[in-house]
Each structure stands twice: as C-alpha cells, then as structure tokens.
Amino acid sequence: MDSEITGLYSIEDFIKNTGEKDLGQGVFELERDRLLEVNLNGMVWTKRGSMVAYTGDIRFIREGVLEHGLGKLVKKSLTGEGVSLTKAEG
C-alpha cells in the first residue's frame, strides 16, 4: 500500500523527514518547524531548558544576577519581564 494513504512511514521516509539537514545558512539554521540548529563558534545566550540535544565540546554557564547590568535586574524585578538564560560556549 502507498505510505501516504495508510499513514505509515518507511525507514527511508523517516530518515528523510527527521535527518539533520546542513543548509549552510550560518550560525542559526531552522532545522524543522520547532527546531533551531545553532552552529556554535563562540558564545550564544539560550533560554534555560530550551536545549534539546547537542554534540561537541560545549560549556553551559547559568546567567549571573548582574550579568546584564543592574538596570536590567531592576527592570526584571519591577516588570516581571525576562527569562532565565544560559550562556553556551564552544
């Protein structure tokens, strides 16, 4: 039966749909609708808990209280804005 009709996937279909695609777009590449690939060569800030998987030698450092200055700390505490960040280096 045709895989489109039955809703079943072959192994080839699965690999084609989920395999890593090197698009050569630079540091950030949209791998799929909800997955961003970061080709790390230096440092980026990530939302804490957003990393799904990684390969290579990457060091994660949690954001310090005064990492972005006292002004941002005051703004976060007064407005409730902001998220916890993690620095990824590699």
Is pLDDT larger for residue 20 or for residue 85?
Answer: 85
* Each residue's pLDDT tens digit, 43-90: 988 888 888 888 889 998 887 666 666 666 666 666 656 667 888 898
Most confident region among 13-17, 20-24, 40-44, 61-65 by mean pLDDT: 40-44
**pTM of structure:** 0.55
- pLDDT at residue number 1: 47
* Residue 4 predicted with pLDDT over 60: no
* 61: nearest Cα among 43, 74, 76: 43
Structure tokens belonging to residue 81: 């804005």
78 half-sphere exposure, CB direction, 13 A CA radius = 6
